[in-house]
Amino acid sequence: MAKVSGATYAPDPVPAPVVAPGEFVFAAVGLNHGHIYGMSSGLLGAGATLKWVYDPDPVKVDAYRQRFPQARVARDEAEILDDDAVHLVAGAAVTSQRCALGLRVIAAGKDYFTDKAPLTTLEQLAEAREATARTGRKYAVYYSERIHVEAAVLAGQLVQRGAIGRVVQVMGLGPHRLSAAGRPDWFFVKEKYGGILCDIGSHNVEQMLYFTGSTDAEISHSTVGNFNHPQYPELDDFGELSLVLNSTATGYCRVDWFTPDGLRTWGDGRTFILGTDGYIELRKYINVATDAGPGHVFLVDGTGEHHLVAAGQVGYPYFGQLILDCLHRTENAMTQAHAFKAAELSIRAQQQARVLRHAVDR
């Protein structure tokens, strides 16, 4: 790692588990998206204890227990919600059903950790905000493309140290591979998945808020379209949005389902962070046409060009911070306001997006 002007660009130490076995117990409920595996792994790596799993589909439960055999199979959701030993319920339900699950978890006196998008409508958002404000319980969100990507974690550390000065723009590119044959039917129903900006766009909105230190934004532009999948008329296979953030920075993202089969991973996700004194580029999952693996951070500042490799060097502090937040009722992992604001902006961008359909109709 490079040292510049006495300041190190090395990452903070990889976080260690924050609790001993049995001190923080969680359960998995709702296995409709594969992100539940990353959510569970992150919590376990931070020292949490997995006690239960439940989903009405026994095939999903069996697959989950192949990865996490320590999880006991609950008879139903109520068996988990009635268990006083459970601190937190992690879930990756159908997107439109995530809020309802969260409200049941909160009503049972537990904290909730959901896959993104955390909800799909502004009405659900109002219910979630009311429940968390009334009870003090958490409605945490797995914005994995920042909190579970080492390059993004390192970028956050660099920005906080002032490595590129004040951030003035964040651009995010979020291509994904569709793999339509392996997707469930609900994935193609807009009422259930929320639309591309509500769904995968929420990753990028969250990063714009985080890297710029913003708490709100104005949506200046949003567009969605179905360019090449007429067999799925409710699918957005392309989306983009632009924000003017209340920090005076700006943000732009493009998300799509056009990753070609020749790429060795599911998507060439990138983030560009422009500051007053330099810039950062993240090549999160692959450095194309090389065998260099994931986790690349390119930093350019007044002293030179720096290539930092975050993979295996940074870890994922969010999960330990979330556990401690649940135990101590603090907000160090992510504030509730931030998690909800990213969701709100994503939903609003989806709702007001210009829809491009002519490309499919031709």
Give the DSSP per-residue string, 64-127: HHHH-TTPEEPSSHHHHHT-TT--EEEEE--GGGHHHHHHHHHHTT-EEEEESS--SSHHHHHH
pLDDT at res. 7:
47
User: 174-193 burial by CB neighbour count: b if 16+ within 10 A, else e?
Assistant: bbbebeeeeeeeebbbbebb
User: 117-130 burial by CB neighbour count: b if 16+ within 10 A, else e?
Assistant: bbbbeeebbebbee
pLDDT at res. 3:
38
Q: Coil, helix or strand for 292? A: coil
Q: With 0-12 CB in 10 A as exposed, 13-18 as middle and 19+ as buried, what is 145?
A: buried
pLDDT at res. 10:
82
Per the CB < 8 A criterion, the answer to whether 112 and 137 are in contact is yes
Instruction: Give the Cα separation of 110 and 24 in Å (integer).
Output: 12
pLDDT at res. 157:
97
pLDDT at res. 5:
39
Contacts of residue 345, Cβ cutoff 8 Å, sequence gap at least 6:
205, 209, 217, 219, 243
Q: Coil, helix or strand for 53? A: strand
Give the pTM. Answer: 0.96
In angstroms and rounded to an integer, the radius of gyration of the C-alpha atoms of the chain is: 20
pLDDT at res. 8:
58
Q: Coil, helix or strand for 167? A: strand
Q: Look up tokens 């339900």; give the residue.
A: 93
What residues does 171 pair with on adjacent strands?
Answer: 252, 272
Mean pLDDT of successive 10-residue stretches along the chain, which has 362 residues: 50 95 98 98 98 98 98 98 98 98 98 98 98 98 98 98 97 98 97 98 98 98 97 97 98 98 97 98 98 97 96 97 98 98 98 81 48
Q: Coil, helix or strand for 274? A: strand
